Amino acid sequence: MDLKSASLFAAIVIWPVAGYPLLAALTSSLGGNNTALSIAGRGLVALAALLLLSRWRPRATWVLVLFGAFWLAYALRLVISLHIRGEPVSRTAETFWIWSLGACLLPALAVHVGFSPTTALRLPRPLLVISLISIGLLLLSGGTAFLREDGTMAQIDRWNVGALNPISMGHLGVTAILLGLSIRVTRGHDRRMRMLALVSIGAGAVIAVLANSRGPFVALALAFSVLLIARARHRRALWMAIATAMGALWLALSAPDLLFGPTGVLARFTAISEGTDMSAEGRTIAFAGALRQFLSAPLFGDALEERITGYYPHNVTLEAFMATGLIGGLPFLLLTLGTLRAAWGLARMGSTFTWIGLLAVQYLVAAQFSGAIYQSPAMWVMALLCLAAHRDQLRRRRLARMMRRRLTHSGLRAPRRRPPAPAAPPPQGASHA
């Protein structure tokens, strides 16, 4: 891949994961409005995706077939709901189309078909640096007060800025943690990167706890479990688990209010079981409504949005079945399962692309709690990137095995021999000559 294509590929991956949080942090620190810059940034990413796709030679794979099947079904739903039926929706038709095509479909397709192993190997460093800069600026410019739509301030005890809500801020912290962990447990990184990874883990933990959002913690727990179980037989994974436990203990002892206080992390989770959390109650209503709408039209789907709340149901899997029925929901589900399997495979191999799989798990889980199909660019980009990275690693392993076989058959390489089995001990009482 030439320098131009590599730059396009890097920009498409970095923007949805760390680019927009950096923009939000900069504008919040300087006191400006990021709307125009955000639109420009997303437009440039869409243009980069088109330029990368212009060099693509179409070749059908199971990923592209499923991806195309889902997006065709979703595009038909957009046409029917927005332009034929004229259903009342929370966004304009232009917003649906621009976000769906420009922010999700084109970038995800571009990073999959234009996957560059060399460029992907270099991405953790800029992602770490950008994430750390963003976290530093957000810690300096953020606060626990929230600006309501009527212009008044409300105290929510969750760190945020005007351009970045606590959920997005929490996911920025989780991304920094997972990037750092993947660098610490895989080979191929220099000492400077490993030190930077430690700083990233600490900074990510601080901003995630301050943001105090449930979804990022659930995503972190599941992604961390994938890494820990996949690398359970390796010493680095053991040290990682011990260090994580010690870090959590230190946090609990040094700042107990953040975890155990009336508005702490644990209180946010217990509020769900007690039925006192309004956002959780609203999501439960939306989940049930989306399921009913799917069951009313299971083949082709029912509508773009859940009718009771008048909004997306905050769960992309339910939304896929609600909007596109089995026609689009099944391809979406298979893509999701394939991505999770690919993430597991990368972690199991100890690949230097493990970070891709962990971030794919994070954003897939995130979209099950607060995501929309047309407003989850990080989910789409990381999922398709994970599938491409896993395919690349499997191909390299197959080629390595083929080369070993050829060298063995040609006599240039001695075949691997199993050590001889130990001799069986003589039976007791046997006579010796």
pLDDT value at residue 59: 82
Inside any domain, residue 433: no
Instruction: For residues 189 and 195, give the distance between their C-alpha atoms in angstroms, rounded to a whole number.
Output: 10
Domain that holds residue 194: 3-399
**Tens of pLDDT along 224-256?**
999 989 887 777 777 777 877 787 777 777 767
Inside any domain, residue 370: yes
**Tens of pLDDT along 284-322?**
899 999 999 999 999 999 999 999 999 999 999 999 999
Inside any domain, residue 414: no
Inside any domain, residue 408: no
Inside any domain, residue 419: no
Inside any domain, residue 416: no
Contact 298, 279 (CB under 8 A): no
Instruction: For residues 289 and 309, give the distance between their C-alpha atoms in angstroms, rounded to a whole number.
Output: 8
For residue 412, give the DSSP letter. S
Q: Which residues contact 328 (CB under 8 A, 6 or more apart)?
A: 69, 70, 72, 73, 74, 77, 301, 320, 321
Instruction: For residues 107 and 48, give the distance between their C-alpha atoms in angstroms, rounded to a whole number.
Output: 8
Inside any domain, residue 427: no
Instruction: For residues 382 and 365, give the distance between their C-alpha atoms in angstroms, rounded to a whole number.
Output: 12
Inside any domain, residue 425: no
Q: How far is CA 45 from CA 23, 102, 380, 422, in A?
A: 14, 8, 14, 62
Q: How far is CA 1 from CA 8, 270, 382, in A?
A: 11, 50, 20
Residue matched to tokens 């996949």? 230
Instruction: For residues 41 and 24, give the distance between their C-alpha atoms in angstroms, rounded to a whole number.
Output: 12
Mean predicted confidence (pLDDT) in 46-69: 91
> Is the C-alpha dihedral spanning 236, 237, 240, 246 positive or negative?
negative
Mean predicted confidence (pLDDT) in 316-336: 97
How many domains is the chain partitioned into structurally?
1
pLDDT value at residue 432: 45
**3-class SS at 87?**
coil
Contact 425, 432 (CB under 8 A): no
